[in-house]
Structures are given as C-alpha cells and as structure tokens.
Amino acid sequence: MNAITPAAAERLVRVPLGERAYDILIGPGLIARAGREIAARLKGRKAAVITDENVAPRYLDALVASLEAAGIQAASLVLPAGEKTKSFEHLMTVCDAVLTARVERNDAVIALGGGVIGDLSGFAAGIVRRGVRFVQIPTSLLSQVDSSVGGKTGINTRHGKNLVGVFHQPDLVLADIDVLNTLSEREFRAGYAEVAKYGLIDKPDFFAWLETNWRDVFAGGAARIEAIAASCQAKSDVVVADERENGPRALLNLGHTFGHALEAATAYDSRRLVHGEGVAIGMVLAHEFSARLNLASPDDAKRVEAHLKAVGLPTRMGDIPGELPPAETLMDAIAQDKKVKSGKLTFILTRGIGQSFVADDVPSSEVLSFLKEKHP
C-alpha cells in the first residue's frame, strides 16, 4: 500500500462492464450531490427511494431534496430495519411501491441503506418491468465495500440466506463516507470484516497495511477513504473477471460458507450475530480448516484471528451469545448453501495470507468433524 495523503478527499472506482459499466464515487457529502450525479448519468426523471426506519430520519429528506433539485420526481418507501426484511413479503411491498410510483425502465430504484435494503431493492429493480435502473447509496461500511458493488441481489428464505435473487448491476454507487460517522462501533467493526477479507483473498500487502493502519481507518479521514476505495477496486476486479460467479468470483465468499451457517443457526437475530461478525468467525474457521487439511500454516490462522480480535470482532463460535444448535445442524445449513454444486461442498480455502482458492468436493465428513471440534 502507498502512503496516504490528506489530499485524497474523494475517489472514483470504475467498474468496466461494457455497456453496463458504472462508477463508484467514494467521499464526503455525496447524498447532497446525489441528484446531480444521478441526473448526469440516467435519462429517466422518476425515482423510487427504498430505505428503512433507521436510515430515513437521518438522510431521506436530504436525498429527496437533492433529487427534486435535479428535476427527478421521487417517491419513497420506508421499511422495517433488519435482516428479516429480506423476505418475499417485503419484496412484494417494494415491487408494488415501484409500480405505484410509475417507475419505467429508464427511471431508477434507489437503495438508501445498508446491505439488506440494497439486496432487496436491487432484486425488485431487476424484476419490475424485467429490469429498471438501479442506484446504490450504501449507508454502512459493509454495504459500501461489498454488497453495493457487483450486482448480486436477493432475499432470504427458511432454507437459507440469499437463495432467491438475480444479478442486476447498479448504474451508480454513491459511498458517502459522512454517513459512517453515525454507525455504532459494532456496525463499523462488522463492515471492517469485509475490508479485511479483500486482503486475505489475494492482497497480502493490503492485509499487512490494515494490521498497521486499522486504527486510522476506524478514526476516519484519508485512511478510511483509501481502505474503502481499495476494497471497491478489489471487488470490481473480481466482478469484471467473473460477473456471475462461475469461477474466481467465488473467492469473495471467503468465510461466508461458515458464516452463513452461523447466521442461519441464530435465525438471523442481529442481537446475537450480524453478517460481518459471521464472516469474521467464518474467515478464522476457513484458515483453521485449511491448516487442518495441511494446506496452510496454523500461524496464518493465528494471525488472522489476532487481527480480527484486535479490532473487536468475534473470532470463535463460542463468542456468539446463547446456545448454538449441534454441529450436525450447522452442517445441514452448509449443505443447503448456494455454494454447493451437484451436491458437492465448495469452500474457499487458503494456502496462506492472501492465497485463497476455490476448493471443490471438500469431504463433508472432514467438515463435520471440524465443526464438532470447534463447537463451543
């Protein structure tokens, strides 16, 4: 990583997907400029803004004012906050609101919120009128560096997380870093897990930079912008190489197979576990499992755990409040995960820091034995 200079007030990351290419703007004050940025890129002059009850009181009025000042007629829908909003019921509500607002194909659905709102709104944008324009204004660190980029949308079902959805790329992502100042420490830490993930996938220098500079990232300013930009660039590079997750894009799921199983085990109860915390535990488990299979050194797993623990993230299943179901139940959730192909388990494993790879046909017996060993 290069040294960070205070002059880095705003960054632009381009996602070059041909006719569907789009910009990710990262910097302060972007909600106030949203109308101008959207109007410069989209022909439509109507928008349906989807947000939640936590975000709306802070930012909805400012966004609507910005849209209307740019000549964009805006309707809005405020949904309950939380992972359980990613449901068929709320998808129907969003689709109805978009149609009621008479949004047409060149108009936009705008997601103002974290990953839940982005995933749900993007799914609706992808299926209403067989696809309308979509703008992401992510308001959490996790959504700024991960879910807002790349076009994966979806909802949860009783069978698991994100099992129903479509690929629908946004037309613009506005990552306003000012909104991160209102996040709780827990929410920010949860997003940071995804930042660290990019280093652990294939950027060991970035992970080393984070080990040294994470306090500056948490404090805000230029280091935070640099970390978000580096994460978005890493995500963009992978998406461009494999838009529909047929190959290397699966690397972005490092820690997610274990993490999603733990989320399902807690019934998506954010009081016990949020997504980024599940990913943090999952990344430690992935490194430990790799060491168990003699693919990597146990010291790498210890290094990953030490860093995530230093920033305040949970790193063990035992760190999750309350009881967890038995290992066999966790194994069932893993077997239902969307990263299973033809009944064969696919994991993202590693040969060391920044040396992740896709492992097909991982023996389920090894996974179950490992889960029993790590179960609290």
| Residue 2 placed within a domain | no
Domain boundaries, position 16: 11-182
Same-domain pairing of 205 and 158: no
pLDDT at 339: 56
Catalytic residue among 2, 19, 89, 130: 130
151 is in an annotated binding site: no
Question: What CA–CA distance (Å, rounded) separates 31 from 202?
Answer: 32
Same-domain pairing of 141 and 231: no
DSSP 171: S
Catalytic residue among 46, 86, 260, 303: 260
| Residue 95 placed within a domain | yes
Buried b (16+ CB within 10 A) or exposed e, 22-53: bbbbbbbebbbbbbebbbeebebbbbbbbbbe
Of the candidates 86, 89, 148, 80, the one whose C-alpha atom is nearest the C-alpha of residue 114 is: 148
pLDDT at 321: 97
Same-domain pairing of 201 and 232: yes
157 is in an annotated binding site: no
Quick check: is 260 catalytic? Answer: yes
Quick check: is 249 catalytic? Answer: yes
pLDDT at 7: 39
212 is in an annotated binding site: no
Of 134, 158, 182, the last residue of a domain is 182
pLDDT at 158: 86
pLDDT at 360: 86
| Residue 36 placed within a domain | yes
Catalytic residue among 256, 303, 307, 338: 256
Same-domain pairing of 172 and 243: no
Catalytic residue among 152, 168, 197, 224: 152
Same-domain pairing of 217 and 314: yes
Quick check: is 307 catalytic? Answer: no
Q: What is the pLDDT of residues 166-197, one digit of tens each?
A: 999 999 999 999 999 999 999 999 999 999 99
| Residue 187 placed within a domain | no
375 is in an annotated binding site: no
Catalytic residue among 253, 287, 305, 338: 253
Question: What CA–CA distance (Å, rounded) separates 275 from 5?
Answer: 32
CATH value at residue 292: 1.20.1090.10
Same-domain pairing of 236 and 357: yes
90 is in an annotated binding site: no
Coil, strand or helix at 260: helix
pLDDT at 343: 61
Question: What CA–CA distance (Å, rounded) separates 287 from 254?
Answer: 10
> What DSSP line would sit under 341-353, residue for residue?
ETTEEEEEEESST
325 by Cβ neighbours in 10 Å (0-12 / 13-18 / 19+) ranks as middle
Same-domain pairing of 30 and 160: yes
152 is in an annotated binding site: yes
| Residue 253 placed within a domain | yes
Of 148, 182, 216, the last residue of a domain is 182
Same-domain pairing of 148 and 200: no
pLDDT at 342: 63
Question: What CA–CA distance (Å, rounded) separates 72 from 69?
Answer: 7
Record the tokens describing residue 139, joined without a space.
Answer: 């308001």
Catalytic residue among 46, 189, 235, 287: 235
pLDDT at 6: 39
The residue whose two tokens read 């949004």 is 103
115 is in an annotated binding site: yes
Same-domain pairing of 161 and 47: yes
| Residue 89 placed within a domain | yes
Kindly list the distances between the CA atom of residue 15 and the CA atoms of 137, 178, 312, in Å, as whole numbers in the listed order. Answer: 16, 23, 32
Question: What CA–CA distance (Å, rounded) separates 203 from 338?
Answer: 26
Of the candidates 279, 254, 257, 277, the one whose C-alpha atom is nearest the C-alpha of residue 199 is: 254
Spell out, as residue ranges, where the chain has pLDDT lower than 70: 1-8, 337-344
Quick check: is 245 catalytic? Answer: yes
117 is in an annotated binding site: yes
Number of domains in the chain: 2
Instruction: List residues bridging with 22 in a β-sheet.
Output: 15
| Residue 6 placed within a domain | no
Question: What CA–CA distance (Å, rounded) separates 369 from 50?
Answer: 43
Of 158, 182, 206, the last residue of a domain is 182
Catalytic residue among 83, 226, 245, 263: 245
Strand 133-138 with 46-52, pairing: unpaired
Strand 160-164 with 344-350, pairing: unpaired
Question: What CA–CA distance (Å, rounded) separates 26 from 232?
Answer: 9
CATH value at residue 54: 3.40.50.1970
139 is in an annotated binding site: yes
Catalytic residue among 86, 168, 203, 249: 249
| Residue 1 placed within a domain | no
Buried b (16+ CB within 10 A) or exposed e, 284-321: bbbbbbbbbeebbeeebbebbbebbeebebbbebeebe
Same-domain pairing of 92 and 174: yes
118 is in an annotated binding site: yes
Q: What is the amino acid identity at position 322?
A: G
Instruction: List residues bridging with 73 in a β-sheet.
Output: 46
Question: What CA–CA distance (Å, rounded) separates 234 from 117?
Answer: 23
Quick check: is 152 catalytic? Answer: yes
Quick check: is 194 catalytic? Answer: yes
Number of Cα atoms under 13 Å in the Cβ half of residue 40: 8
161 is in an annotated binding site: yes
Same-domain pairing of 244 and 266: yes
The residue whose two tokens read 């790193």 is 315
State the pTM of this model: 0.90
Same-domain pairing of 111 and 259: no
